[in-house]
Structure 1
Amino acid sequence: MFDLLPSRSGRILVCGHRGHVIDGHENSRPAFRRAGELGASLCEIDLHMTRDGRLVVFHDDILDNTSTGTGLISQLDYAQIAQFRTKSRNGMPIEGQPIELFEDALTFCRDLGLGLIVEIKDKFEGTAYLEQVVGLLKKAGMFERVLISSFDYVVLRDIKRVAPGIRTMGINYHRLVDPAAAARSASMDIMNTDYPQFAPDLAEGLHAANIGVSHFVPRPEFFALRRGYGVDYLDMFDAYLRAGLIDMLVCDDVGWGVDFVTGRGLAVARLEPVK
């Protein structure tokens, strides 16, 4: 089970958002493989359930934007979805990949030595969905190498009840009045705050409650453009890292993320090999 508070020992987890995606792939084997080659600790993936109850790794609820198919995933059987291939969100020419079943992505990333953040995207009633997720994690030997994430904090609370010992991450877009209270309400182990809502007091409050701090930042070119207008968030981000306020960096460009972390004199936290 990997450390979710590595900032206390001068280390930080680097997570590839949907894998390493700047080459055009997302949520696919090339994205995961390249993330591992560039030094990622983990990859973030997204889950949706098909009409016949299979879990697939795909970000959108529809196939139209990043695959050769069309339609809602929830209205199609997996056999239909399996005929389609991925395509780049931004039109970059890439070789299409199969839309991965969750169990296959788990095995692939396990063998690469990567941990995973598994974001549950669907809305559902009851616990059968969560029980299926947990069962597949255990079958793949990935239960201790995964964080379950969601914007829905009820989901995070409920999966802890289904599987005590599983670790979770809440996704947060806001400047919270009491972030630790929000985290405790869902029994989460780490909270992610997206740019630009991150603030030192948010991180300090979470760390005081022994809760890890994750931060998603956009691609480097986003900051480069703003730097030309006299605003340099990366200077502040540098200070946050050096102050030990962040335990995990989530980014699209894993190579950039690893270089940014190591350039601050910090080490990228590595997961122990699967035995």
Structure 2
Amino acid sequence: MFDLLPSRSRRILVCGHRGHVMDGHENTRPAFRRAAELGASLCEIDLRLTRDGRLVVFHDDILDDASTGTGLISRLDYVQIAQFRTKARNGLPIEGQPIELFEDVLSYCRDIGLGLIVEIKDKFEGTAYLEQVVDLLRSAGMLERVLISSFDYVVLRDIKRVAPAIRTMGINYHRLVDPAASARSATMDVMNTDYPQFAPDLAEGLHGAGIGVSHFVPRPEFFALRRDYGVDYFEKLDAYLRAGLIDMLVCDDVGWAVDFVASSGLAVARLDPSE
């Protein structure tokens, strides 16, 4: 299993959010491959369940905004979804890619040496959904190279009951009163906090409980105008990295993240400690 607290040894995991999507389509093989080429440790992907019980790698509950198809994924069979192709949300004329089954993405990322954060998006009752996820991870030999993530902390608690060895990450948009207590309640291994809610005391509390700290930041251009106005978040981010407060940096732009980590005097953590 890869280290979820690499900050202890001046390293950090870099995660491509849905792959490297600056010049490609999210949740597709080219985005994963490019992320790996740029030096990502992992990529984050999203799961959706089709009407006929297949798990596909796609962010939205509908096809309309990021593919050539239309309709709710939960009301379509995979054979219908498979005829569509992805499309760029920003309108770039990029060749569309297949909407792939989870098991095929697992095999591909395993073969290129890329770890995954698997975000469970759907609402469901019982444990059959989670058991299916775990079975596919085991079949692909990816159980130790994956974090299961969700905004739903009950899901994270329940998947640990299905597979105690699996590791999980809670997604957090808030400034929590006691982040470690929230993490412990869901038995999570990592907590991710999105910009701008990250704060040193949050990270210190999580680290004190032995819980990894992940931080999602928007694309670099989001900060450009703010820097012109005299607000430079990158100065804070550099200080956080140098202080060892962050174990994983998540961003759409993997190349930028890798370069920023290097400029802060850290090394990107590899999944294989021998590398």
1:160-211 deviation per Cα after TM superposition (whole angstroms, max 9, x unaligned): 0000110000000000000000000000000000000000000000000000
Equivalent residues in 2 for 1:40-59, closer than 5 Å: 40-59=40-59
Q: Distance in 1 between matches of 2:137 and 2:89?
A: 28
Structure 2 counterpart of 1:245: 245
Equivalent residues in 2 for 1:35-114, closer than 5 Å: 35-114=35-114
Q: Distance in 1 between matches of 2:70 and 2:225?
A: 34
Say which SS state the counterpart of residue 149 (structure 1) adopts. strand
Q: Distance in 2 between matches of 1:273 and 1:122?
A: 34
Task: Please tell me whether residue 148 in structure 1 is matched to residue 184 in structure 2.
Answer: no
Offset of residue 263 of structure 1: 1.0
State whether residues 113 and 273 of structure 1, in contact with CA within 8 Å, keep that contact through their aligned partners in structure 2. no
Gapped regions of structure 1 (runs ≥ 5): none
Say which SS state the counterpart of residue 129 (structure 1) adopts. helix
Say which SS state the counterpart of residue 147 (structure 1) adopts. strand
Alignment TM-score, normalising by the size of structure 2? 0.99
Q: Percent identity?
A: 86
Structure 2 counterpart of 1:204: 204
1:50-103 deviation per Cα after TM superposition (whole angstroms, max 9, x unaligned): 000000000000000010000000000000000000000110110100001000
Opposite residue 9 of structure 1, the aligned amino acid is: S
Equivalent residues in 2 for 1:118-267, closer than 5 Å: 118-267=118-267
Say which SS state the counterpart of residue 225 (structure 2) adopts. helix
Q: Distance in 1 between matches of 2:273 and 2:29?
A: 19
State whether residues 24 and 30 of structure 2, in contact with CA within 8 Å, keep that contact through their aligned partners in structure 1. no
Q: Distance in 1 between matches of 2:262 and 2:131?
A: 39
Opposite residue 241 of structure 1, the aligned amino acid is: L
Task: Please tell me whether residue 270 in structure 1 is matched to residue 273 in structure 2.
Answer: no
Q: Distance in 2 between matches of 1:141 and 1:148?
A: 15
Q: Distance in 2 between matches of 1:17 and 1:212?
A: 18
Offset of residue 8 of structure 1: 0.2
Say which SS state the counterpart of residue 256 (structure 1) adopts. helix
Q: Distance in 2 between matches of 1:45 and 1:187?
A: 21
Offset of residue 273 of structure 1: 8.8
Q: Distance in 2 between matches of 1:198 and 1:227?
A: 18
Q: Distance in 1 between matches of 2:46 and 2:89?
A: 15
State whether residues 117 and 148 of structure 1, in contact with CA within 8 Å, keep that contact through their aligned partners in structure 2. yes
Alignment TM-score, normalising by the size of structure 1? 0.99
Offset of residue 271 of structure 1: 1.1
Offset of residue 242 of structure 1: 0.2
Say which SS state the counterpart of residue 169 (structure 1) adopts. strand
Gapped regions of structure 2 (runs ≥ 5): none
Q: Distance in 1 between matches of 2:256 and 2:77?
A: 38
222-231 or 189-198, which moves further after superposition?
222-231
Opposite residue 145 of structure 1, the aligned amino acid is: R
Q: Distance in 1 between matches of 2:155 and 2:175?
A: 21
Q: Distance in 1 between matches of 2:93 and 2:202?
A: 40
Q: Distance in 2 between matches of 1:156 and 1:193?
A: 16
**Residues 273, 178 of structure 1: CA spacing in aligned structure 2 closer, same or farther, 3 A cutoff?**
closer
State whether residues 25 and 94 of structure 1, in contact with CA within 8 Å, keep that contact through their aligned partners in structure 2. yes
State whether residues 38 and 254 of structure 1, in contact with CA within 8 Å, keep that contact through their aligned partners in structure 2. yes
Q: Distance in 2 between matches of 1:192 and 1:180?
A: 12
Opposite residue 223 of structure 2, the aligned amino acid is: F
State whether residues 25 and 31 of structure 1, in contact with CA within 8 Å, keep that contact through their aligned partners in structure 2. yes
Q: CA RMSD in A?
A: 1.0
Size of the aligned set, in residue pairs, is: 274
Opposite residue 141 of structure 1, the aligned amino acid is: G
